[in-house]
Amino acid sequence: MSTIPTNITSTLWDYIFVGGGLVASVISHRLLESDPHLKILVVEAGPNANDRSDIVWPNSNNLIGGDFDWKDVTVKQSNLDDRILSYSLGKALGGGTVINAGGWVRGDQFDLDTWGSIVDDKRWSYDGLLPYLKKSEQFWSKDINSDQHGQSGPCFVQSVTSTNREFPLRDIVLQSWAELGINPRPGLDANAGNPLGVGELQENKVNGRREIAAARYSLDGITVLTDTQVARVIIDNKGPGQSPTAVGIALADGSEIRGHETILSAGAIRTPQLLKLSGIGPAEELKKHGIPVVLDNPEVGENLADHGLFRFGYKVKDPSAGWALGSPNQLFTQEQYGWGTPADFVVSTDVSKKGLAAAIAEDEGKAPDPSVHPLLSRERTFNEHVFIYAGAADGSVVSFATFTMLTTSRGSVKLASSNIQDAPLIDPNFLNTAVDRYVAREAVKLQVKFAASNATAIGRDILDGEVGETGFDETLTVDSTDDYIDARLRSILGTGYHPMGTAAMGKVVDQDLRVKGINSLRVVDASVIPIVVTGHLQVSLYALGEQASAIISAERNQRRG
């Protein structure tokens, strides 16, 4: 027997959101703001975590693998020694903002310009999205790139300096990057369209406190169903000559809810699963699972892209000197040093074009033209490095995390069965291209040169080599072979927690985020991003939600005359 209140199943909703994550929070809030009379329903598979005090702070334990994580895993990764990886995704109102690290990294203008170019719509270029990037954020400083940053948005952005928590190694780290030819961005702001170089760490926190999207964009006045899983979209397939129309949703318990428009906002993994379970996807795959084909679109669930992430530890020569958390340095007992990631900077780097061209030739079967190839014709943000002043309880180890940002490998999300309760088959296909293997290898070499060589002050005076890894007799040094580096990468690389692209704009949805070939159905989440954004996705997703709200509101106003 259904536990859903009858007033929900009997109401004809103006908008039904499937998934109550970041984007759904933004759009539903803005739609109600534009018209308080709208009947909006948000259905979320997870709970409401807005009042959970145990997830507020950066050192909260209930994050990855906790109560608000889908706890998904990948299929075996053939390029990572057949490892099966944990694949954490937010399962709560606010989605990933409930469990993420809060990094506020916009990425490169070129990426968003490529998005706009691919879909031939300037609204999805950097300049087209900039008003919405600004609308979402409340930057801590009015003096840094005021033309690039918002001052009154719901998402507060803090920095290391705004929270008065500069770390003891700050100047030495900055000097060490400069010794490698990597220099600071103007104002140390890497969130103004060109991140290449050294930028100060920025996070969307308020004095360290987590900002959950469903709290920052209030859902007051919106009907919310939590702990409720949607099984499929109900499609009225009107027959030959007429486009099928989404008329509502069916829940996992069999209840049906009807609405004028359904908006899938379940993320890059669950959205393609729901589309397929609703009969929208590759016909052959749907038939395999006994699902009637409403619309044959082989692109649904394809084009899965994600950033890679790996981290190595480096020994501190003198832990008593107070360089790292856990050391006897009394500075770290001050409250603000627990308000964010213990790092000063985010550093974005390109790679050597000669080696990159060789990797491209291996992947594409011919030598690329460096004057026009998008990976070669200009500097690009291939890797993001975060040198972290923590790694051991006694302050004897620091960590060096690297994201591989401009990945070219593509994976997929496929059905395990026709049952929504069965998690889909997730294959990010990490390190499947020669380009990705080359880029990751170059990132390790730069990391080692920075932290474990005489080329930098920190390598000469502060650190004492890489910690090493169980199962390997060697440690990483500047003399490590490519084969050894590759083996270490296969053993440690995992998800950067930024899946995207599985219902790509231009292939599955149009420029207004409507599912092609289906009336009254949209997708608005990371699955629609048709390119790899070299930033932390929450920033682009807030802008996506803001622009989608404007598009949907404008359509509604046009219908009303």
pLDDT category at 2 given cuts 50, 70, 90 is: very low
The answer to whether residues 74 and 118 touch, using CB atoms and an 8 Å cutoff, is no
CB 234 within 8 A of CB 247: yes
Residues with Cβ < 8 Å from 411, sequence gap 6 or more? 304, 305, 306, 426, 427, 428, 429, 430, 432
Cβ count near 115 (within 10 Å) = 26
In a shared domain, residues 472 and 382: yes
Contact 243, 193 (CB under 8 A): no
Quick check: is 412 in a domain? no
Q: Report yes or no on 85 lying in a domain.
A: no
Mean pLDDT of 107-132: 98
Q: Are residues 326 and 198 in the same domain?
A: yes
- Residue 390: exposure state from Cβ atoms within 10 A (0-12, 13-18, ≥19): middle
Residues 298 and 286: their CA atoms lie apart, in Å, by 10
Flag whether 78 is in a domain: no
What average pLDDT does the chain have?
96
Rounded average pLDDT over 528-552: 98
Predicted local confidence at residue 57, as pLDDT: 81
Q: Is the pTM of this model over 0.95?
A: yes
Please state the rounded mean pLDDT for residues 534-554.
98
Alpha carbon distance 499, 510 (integer Å): 20
Say whether both 450 and 357 belong to one domain.
Answer: yes
Q: What is the pLDDT of residues 483-512, one digit of tens each?
A: 999 999 999 999 999 999 999 999 999 999
At residue 125, φ and ψ (nearest 5 deg) are -85, 175
Q: How far is it, in rounded angstroms, from Cα 23 to Cα 29? A: 10
The residue among 476, 492, 508 that closes a domain is 492
Q: Report the pLDDT value the prediction gives residue 241, as an integer from 0 to 100.
A: 72
- Cα 198 → chain centroid: 21
**Residue pair 115/531 in contact by the 8 Å Cβ criterion:** yes
**pLDDT band at residue 61, thresholds of 50, 70 and 90?**
low
Question: Based on the domain organization, do 354 and 467 belong to the same domain?
Answer: yes
**Which range is least confidently modeled, 55-64, 89-98, 285-294?**
55-64
How far, in Å, CA of 435 to CA of 379, rounded? 15
Question: Would you say residue 342 has pLDDT above 60?
Answer: yes
* Longest CA–CA separation in the chain, Å: 76
pLDDT at res. 3: 73
**Residues 326, 245 within the same domain:** no
Please tell me the distance from the alpha carbon of residue 477 to that of residue 466, in angstroms, as a whole number. 7
Are residues 318 and 180 part of one domain?
A: yes
Tens-place pLDDT, residues 140-193: 987 778 899 999 999 999 999 999 999 999 999 999 999 999 999 999 999 999
Q: How far apart are CA 543 and CA 23, in angstroms?
A: 9
CB 369 within 8 A of CB 448: no
pLDDT of residue 399 exceeding 80:
yes
Task: Count the helices and strands in the chain (H runs, E runs).
Answer: 13, 26
Given 492, 527, 544, the domain boundary residue is 492
* Predicted pLDDT at 66: 87
The tally of domains found in the chain comes to 2
103: tokens are 């990094």
Q: Identify whether residues 36 and 183 lie together within a single domain.
A: no
Q: 488 in helix, strand or coil?
A: helix
Contact of 51 with 44, CB cutoff 8 Å: no
Do residues 270 and 256 make contact, with C-beta atoms less than 8 angstroms apart?
A: no
- Give which of 201, 128, 205 is closest to 167, Cα–Cα: 201
CATH code at position 380:
3.30.560.10
Retrieve residue 434's tokens. Answer: 């020669």
Both 312 and 437 in one domain: the answer is yes
Q: How many CA atoms lie within 13 A of 360 on its CB side?
A: 17
- Are 466 and 348 found together in one domain? yes
Give the range among 68-72, 79-83, 240-244, 294-298 with minimum mean pLDDT: 240-244
Phi and psi at 155, nearest 5°, equal -100, 105
**Sign of the torsion formed by the C-alpha atoms of 538, 544, 547 and 549:** negative
Residue 537 lies in a domain: yes
Distance CA 536, CA 529 (A): 13
Neighbouring-strand partners of residue 156 = 138
C-alpha span between 470 and 312 (Å, rounded): 12
Residue 218, domain member (yes or no): yes
**Band of pLDDT at residue 5, cut at 50, 70 and 90:** confident
The stretch 220-230 carries a mean pLDDT of 97
3-12, 40-49, 260-269: which range is least confident on average? Answer: 3-12
Confidence of residue 195 (pLDDT cuts 50, 70, 90): very high
Cβ distance 191 to 202 under 8 Å? yes
**Considering the domain boundaries, does residue 80 fall inside one?**
no
Are residue 439 and residue 512 in the same domain, yes or no? no
For 174, phi and psi rounded to 5 degrees? -60, -40
Residue 136 lies in a domain: yes
Task: Extract the tokens encoding 520.
Answer: 């009254």
In a domain, 46, yes or no: yes
The whole-number average pLDDT for the span 388-412 is 98
Same domain, yes or no, for 313 and 170? yes
Residue 328: pLDDT above 60?
A: yes
CA distance 8 to 6: 5
> Which of the residue ranges 86-100, 107-121, 232-246, 382-396 would you say has the lowest mean pLDDT?
232-246
Which of 441, 474, 492 is where one domain is finished? 492
Residue 1 has pLDDT above 90, yes or no: no
Q: For residue 279, what is the domain's CATH number?
A: 3.50.50.60
The kind and range of the H/E element at 553 are: helix 537-560
Determine the structural domain holding residue 30 and report its residue range.
6-54+214-304+500-560
| Both tokens assigned to 290 | 């006994």
Does 113 share its domain with 198?
A: yes
